[in-house]
Amino acid sequence: MTSTDRTHDPARRSWVESANAPECDFPIQNLPWCVFRSEDGSSRIGVGIGDQILDLQAVILGEDDPVDTSALGGVVTCALTAPTLNQFMGLGREAWRATRHFVADLLDASSQCRDDLLVPMADAQLLMPATVGDYTDFYASRYHATNVGRMFRPDGEPLMPNYLHLPVGYHGRASSVVVSGTDIRRPHGQLKPDDGDPVFGPIKLLDYELEFGAFIGEANQLGDRVPIDDAMHRIFGLVILNDWSARDVQKWEYQPLGPFNAKNFASTISPWVVTIDALAPFRRPGPERLPEDPPLLPYLQPSGDDVLDVTCEVSLASASMREAGTDPVTLTRGSLADLCWSFAQMLSHHTSTGCPMRPGDLIGSGTVSGPEKDSRGCLLELTWRGSEPVDLPDGTQRRFLLDGDELTISAWCESEGARRIGLGSCSGVVRPAE
């Protein structure tokens, strides 16, 4: 297990009482980052604690009863009053860790209660936590890649020859990365019926993809590589990611250059960034390789506890289910630990050519799928291209998503000797094409 410190002490409590509830996503051991809209309309950086948000601008600039922030230094306090997390992300690991300790001590039960620094989450509009300059999505689940390969190449090898040698990825579209709660309009696309010529119209095979995204913090310069033993130190934190996919567009366009319009219309992320430091109790060695797998080149050899043990769950509620007050149906339950490539390997490979990464760049894991049917991370797999539809309590079935469907992904971490923490949730409602 990666080393922990006093901020991870499972016995630690906060003066924010809601943070001490056993099932709370945001206890004092977590302290996830966000950006929210304040009453004056400005965008402010915050930290989640229980059902509240600690307003960092109020902490730093408050005049009536100022908090002593001298231990942070002017560079850090300036970054924390910015409208996005990019500047703070770029300061690097030591600044992140020092700020985590400062915030934890401020919120500790032994400290003075400062309700004036808090904003109720229920009253806050959560925004994109960072400006995403570049977005790269990977294909890091062997189970997902194997299932898809068996569907589309039933008579051949399910995995492509390169798959076990390097983390496969493609460059996504940063401009269509949106925050949880944003409606998803069904896109149009060029579709190829099996028995006819291409047509243009609303897509029919809309899918979700259960993923996680890693925000890059400290940059590397053009021409510099990030070695694998430094890669996790460059990652600021994780968000939940739903990479909405148009499967009918994808199957027509993907050769020879891979995903394009099938993936560029929307990718939703959760508003809370759970830091790599907060995830320290939930890191494990690996990823593991099978005995028959080819040896990895040295630059991709795992050097530490790079596997993140995060449990995730996908649920769906149709429009009629929500109107009737029916609970959402769980579609998938999986684990980020099932990936065969880690975020450290993804970042090391991404920069192996000297590609520069910048604070706020986002890398996606690709669909998180496991060995069992109920751990398959998208409807393409779960329904096996629509041949095994999912039954909903309103009497309808789902092969792919329909208008009005609300898709929600939630995630959390649990480990013996550690306080449970959560990553919140990531949701979106499918709206009709226009």
Catalytic residue (one of 144, 165, 188, 233): 144
d(CA 392, CA 402) in angstroms, rounded, equals 12
DSSP-derived 3-state class of residue 249: helix
For 31-179, where are the E strands, in sequence order?
33-37, 43-49, 52-55, 118-120, 125-126, 135-138, 169-171, 177-179
DSSP-derived 3-state class of residue 177: strand
194 strand-pairing partners:
none
Backbone angles phi, psi at 317, to 5 degrees: -135, 120
Residue 144 annotated in active site: yes
Q: What is the DSSP letter of 389?
A: P
Closest residue by Cα to residue 283 from 310, 311, 307, 312: 307
Closest residue by Cα to residue 76 from 48, 103, 52: 103
d(CA 2, CA 313) in angstroms, rounded, equals 25
CB 300 within 8 A of CB 228: yes
**Which pair of tokens denotes residue 312?**
């995730």
Q: What angle do CA 42, 240, 370 make, to 5 degrees?
A: 180
Tell me the CB-side half-sphere exposure of residue 426, using CA atoms within 13 A. Answer: 33
For 9-95, where are the E strands, in sequence order?
33-37, 43-49, 52-55
**Which pair of tokens denotes residue 305?**
């506890």
Q: How far is CA 256 from CA 99, 165, 190, 252, in A?
A: 46, 20, 16, 10
Closest residue by Cα to residue 378 from 230, 190, 223, 247: 247
Q: What is the DSSP letter of 395?
A: S
Find all residues with CB under 8 Å of 429, minimum gap 6, and list them.
183, 184, 404, 405, 406, 407
d(CA 323, CA 123) in angstroms, rounded, equals 24
Catalogue the active-site residues: 144
